């Protein structure tokens, strides 16, 4: 579904991604783990089109998209839930969700999707007309995911959804991700919480200083001695 080949990108003269290659098949949950500064978020930005790559290709559903605008990618169902609860703070919960469907034009389907999100996440329904900045951290993350759902994602990319959440909320967010996967959405999950992410995923990639250094099934990665020492706390 998504195929990245030798992707290079960075900011100005600083190169962050130094040739990343990875592949995601339809229906998979794939996770990308790595320490701070490995380039995970830079990869996400390049995939959704905010950052343009300096070399390499991104292929999505059989066609190259690396020169396409973010809008075009959202329309094709390649949707990112950005890091750090990137919601529109000063707009209401309802407006935030509605904005998720901005690139779509099927009004009646948008309405059903809205109702679906509200019935799945009743917290959001209860806070519908409140400003998004009054929501708690977990609710904001839920809202960010809800907004992404309104873009009708086929491949949903989540950038550290557990960042700054209490363990209980992390569990909730991960169960939401499992539900989404079961509803047929392919998931690309970027996490620092390697243990949790690998328990959920089919396959995993490990990134270090802008390159993929390991890739295997999630099972094998969980059992790998190197990885345990580096990311899973021995």
Partner 1 sequence: MSSYQLDLFSSLGINILLALSVYCPMATGQLSIGNAGFMAIGAYVSAMLTVHVHLPLFPSLIIGGIAAAIIGVLFGFPALRLKGIFLAMATLCFGEIVRNFFMNFLQTLTGGAYGFRGIGDVPILISWIWGWVALSLVFFFFLSRSRLGLALMATHDDQTVSELIGINIVFLKVAAFGVGAFIGGVAGGLYAHYYLYIEPEFFNVWESIFIALYVIMGGMLTYWGPVLGASIFTLLPEFLRFLQDWRGAFFGVVIIGLMIARPSGLVTREILRIDFWIPYLKRRKP
Q: Which of 34, 39, 53, 82 binds partner 1 (CB under 8 A)?
A: 82
Q: Which tokens go with 210?
A: 């802008």
What is d(CA 8, CA 18) in angstroms, rounded to the nearest whole number? 5
For residues 90-149, which are near partner 1 according to CB under 8 A?
A: 90-92, 95, 98-100, 102-103, 129-131, 147
| Piece of the chain touching partner 1 by CB under 8 A; list 12-20, 68-76, 116-124, 182-190 | 68-76
Residue 87 DSSP class:
-
The Cα–Cα gap between 178 and 185 comes to: 10
Shortest approach of partner 1 to residue 55 CB, angstroms?
Answer: 22
Eight-class DSSP state of 170? H
Q: What values do phi and psi take at 106, rounded to 5?
A: -90, 85
* Interacting residues with partner 1 between 14 and 43 (CB under 8 A): none
Q: How far is the CB of 59 from partner 1 (least distance, A)?
A: 20
Nearer to partner 1, 79 or 200 (CB): 79
Q: List the 63-64 sheet strands across, edge first.
A: 14-24, 2-11, 55-60, 63-64
Using rule CB under 8 A, residue 88 touches partner 1: yes
Q: Which stretch binds partner 1 (CB under 8 A): 23-31, 47-55, 195-203, 218-226?
A: 47-55
Buried b (16+ CB within 10 A) or exposed e, 14-23: ebbbeebebe
Binding site for partner 1 (CB under 8 A): 48-50, 69-71, 74-75, 80, 82, 86-92, 95, 98-100, 102-103, 129-131, 147, 151
């Amino acid at each position: 579904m998504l195929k990245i080949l030798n992707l290079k990108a960075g900011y100005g003269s600083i190169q962050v991604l130094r040739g990343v290659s990875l592949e995601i098949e339809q229906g998979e949950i794939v996770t990308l783990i790595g320490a701070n500064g490995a380039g995970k978020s830079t990869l996400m930005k390049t995939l959704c089109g905010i950052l343009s790559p300096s070399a390499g290709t991104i292929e999505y559903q059989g066609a190259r998209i690396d020169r396409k605008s973010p809008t075009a990618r959202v329309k094709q169902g390649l949707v990112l839930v950005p890091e750090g609860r990137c919601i529109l703070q000063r707009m209401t919960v309802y407006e935030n969700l509605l904005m998720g469907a901005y690139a779509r034009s099927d009004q009646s389907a948008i309405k059903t999707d809205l109702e679906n999100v509200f019935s799945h996440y009743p917290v959001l329904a209860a806070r519908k007309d409140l400003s998004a900045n009054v929501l708690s951290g977990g609710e904001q993350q839920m809202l960010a995911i809800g907004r992404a759902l309104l873009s009708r994602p086929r491949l949903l990319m989540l950038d550290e959804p557990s960042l700054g959440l209490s363990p209980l909320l992390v569990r909730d967010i991960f169960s939401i991700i499992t539900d989404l996967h079961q509803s047929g959405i392919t998931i690309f999950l970027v996490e620092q919480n390697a243990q949790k992410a690998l328990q959920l995923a089919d396959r995993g990639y490990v990134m270090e200083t802008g390159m993929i250094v390991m890739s295997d099934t999630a099972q094998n990665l969980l059992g790998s001695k190197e990885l345990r020492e580096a990311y899973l706390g021995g």
